[in-house]
Amino acid sequence: MTDPIADIGLIGLAVMGQNLVLNMNDHGFTVAVYNRTVSKVDDFLADNAAGTNVVGAHSIEELIGLLKRPRRVMLMVKAGKPVDAFIETLLPYLEPGDIIIDGGNSNYEDSIRRTAYLESKGLLFIGTGVSGGEEGARFGPSIMPGGSPEAWQHVKDIFQSISAKVPEGDPNGAPCCDWVGENGAGHFVKMVHNGIEYGDMQIIAEAYQLLKEGLGLDNDAMSAVFDRWNGGKLESYLIEITRDILAYRDEDGNAVLDLILDAAGQKGTGKWTAESALNMGIPLTLIGEAVFARSLSALKEQRVAAAGVLRGEASPFTGDQAAFID
């Protein structure tokens, strides 16, 4: 059997998983990787991970054998049943004090259940939010760990090393990662974080609608407005990419935004936030309405039919355009 050499194991080599592995490698940690489709392990080692210290495993048993004690295994797989299935697959190979980490977008109630279940078997569990998308995972995400408090000391160095820093780009800055609480606290914080983002995006969508339909601005003019907003107190990633999307053209010079169907999907975290607020009796109207707006946008056929029946006369804006925008 191979001697334990890896600081952490990661299961799930989709883009988020791969990028987290490369981020950990960049910060001096040895990572052992496994994927259910084993060929992806070899492909990763031959391509994106070529020349790194990443170690591949072709079975769960081999993966666990590569890990230093206490063994730390991070799951980057689809939320729900796949997480539970991998936990059951891991159990025969783990020993008391080992740590399973779920880095997907799991429901916090599932993380509460998994914490209790694994602690009853002498194991430790962390359910952590990972925010920042593919780029963040590669170069510095925000990480929100919660679960078994005893586990934090064993992952703190890894997580805080790979996380984003404040000020941005300062390797000695404050890490965008700290322990947020027991049980499902990590995934609860991530859920609310995503819910807030739903609200932010709905505000941006309504601002776009007012600029387009109320003021009659074209895409370039709206892009200029968002560019100005991004230079002040509204500066943010979402305002920045809205500016860029409005200005984006395809190879034929057509505005790409005008070619995209106006129907939004959702992954569920905004809905979970609204449901949790209702269950707790907490008023959360902005996020609730943002979720409903996405549901409405998905009803494209019904909206088209309703527009033919309910359309009223246009009411052009006659006030001070600049003052309205400000």
Active site residue ranges? 190, 197
Q: Which residue has the tokens 């299935």?
A: 85
Q: Euclidean distance between the first and final Cα of the chain, in Å? A: 67
Q: Please identify which residue in the block is written with the tokens 């890896």.
A: 6
Type and span of the H or E element at 11: strand 8-11
Do the bridges between strand 124-131 and strand 31-34 make them parallel or antiparallel, or are there none, so unpaired? unpaired
Tokens representing residue 63 in the block: 């993966």
CA distances from 192 to 131, 195, 254, 271, 272 (A): 12, 5, 37, 10, 9
**CB-based contacts of 150: which residues, under 8 Å, 6+ apart?**
124
Distance CA 145, CA 103 (A): 9
DSSP 53: S
108-119 and 81-90 helices, crossing angle to 10°: 20
Kindly state the helix (H) or strand (E) to which residue 130 belongs, with its residue range: strand 124-131
